[in-house]
Amino acid sequence: MRITSHCMIGLLLVLPAILPACASNSPFPTEVRDKVAPTFDFQAWRDASPSNPGGKSGSGTKVELGGRIVQVSKDSKGVLIVAEQLPVVNHPVYGPTDTGTRMGEFEFAFLYPAELAPDTLRHGNRFVMIGTTSGRKPVVVNGAPKTEPYLVADCIHVWQTGRTEISEFKESAGAGNSPLPEVTSCASKKH
C-alpha cells in the first residue's frame, strides 16, 4: 500500500489535534498528582468546624482545586492567597470557570511556600493548585477578618487572565492577540 503525499500531509495536520485529547489536561508532573483525592467535596470541607478557627478538621488530604485570586499577601513563609473556588472543567478548554449559577460561599486560603512573579498574583487571575488541607486560618479580606479553610500548596498553575474567562481568551487568541500567559510553579520540598 502506497501513501500519497496528500494523505501524509492530511495525517500530519490531524495528528496534533488528536494527541491532546489522549493526554492528561493537568499541567502538573505525575509525581505531584500522586495521592490526590479522586473526589473532594469542597463545600463539606468549607463547612467543617466553622466555629473552630485553629482546628484541624479536614486536615491532611491532598487535593486539586481551581479558582480565582481574590487577595494576596506575602510574608517570610511565602505567599498567602485568598481565592474563590471555581469548578475545573475540561471543555471548551481546561481550567477553572465561573458558571455564575452557584449559591453559597466559596472562599478559601492557601499558602504557596515560595516566591511567585507579581504578574502571576494579580487579582482575578485563574489558577489550579495541588495542596494539602490544613484546617482553618484567620485572614483579613478587604479589611474584614474572616476564618477560611486553608491549604499548603505544592504546585500552582496560573493563567494571567485578569477577569476574563480562559475559554474567551483562547477563542480570541488567533485574532492577532498574544497567547494567554500561563505558568506552573512547584515549591521545593524541605526535608
Q: How large is the average pLDDT for residues 126-131?
A: 96
Kindly state whether residue 68 falls inside one of the protein's structural domains: yes
Domain count, the chain: 1
Kindly state whether residue 157 falls inside one of the protein's structural domains: yes
Q: 10 Å Cβ neighbour count for 153?
A: 22
pTM: 0.76
Kindly state whether residue 37 falls inside one of the protein's structural domains: yes
pLDDT at residue 49, rounded to an integer: 54
Tell me: pLDDT of 23 over 50: no
The answer to whether the CB of 151 falls within 8 A of the CB of 131 is yes
Closest to 130 (Cα-Cα) out of 96, 94, 155: 155
Kindly state whether residue 12 falls inside one of the protein's structural domains: no
Beta strands in the chain (DSSP E): 62-75, 78-86, 88-89, 95-96, 107-112, 126-141, 144-159, 182-186
Kindly state whether residue 40 falls inside one of the protein's structural domains: yes
Rounded to whole angstroms, how far apart are CA atoms 134 and 77? 15
Q: How large is the average pLDDT for residues 78-107?
A: 86
Q: Which domain does 85 fall in, by range? A: 27-186
pLDDT at residue 24, rounded to an integer: 53
Rounded to whole angstroms, how far apart are CA atoms 165 and 113? 27
The answer to whether the CB of 71 falls within 8 A of the CB of 81 is yes
User: Residue 84 has which C-alpha cell?
Assistant: 474563590
Tell me: pLDDT of 115 over 70: yes
Half-sphere CA count of 153, side-chain side, radius 13 A: 32
User: Residue 30 has which C-alpha cell?
Assistant: 505525575
CATH of the domain at 63: 2.40.50.140
Q: Over the chain, what is the mean pLDDT?
A: 80
Kindly state whether residue 191 falls inside one of the protein's structural domains: no
pLDDT at residue 11, rounded to an integer: 39
Lowest model confidence (mean pLDDT) among 16-25, 62-71, 159-168: 16-25
Kindly state whether residue 85 falls inside one of the protein's structural domains: yes
Task: Provide, rounded to the nearest whole percent, the portion of the chain with pLDDT above 70.
Answer: 75
Q: How large is the average pLDDT for residues 23-41?
A: 86
Residues 6+ apart with CB under 8 A from 2: none
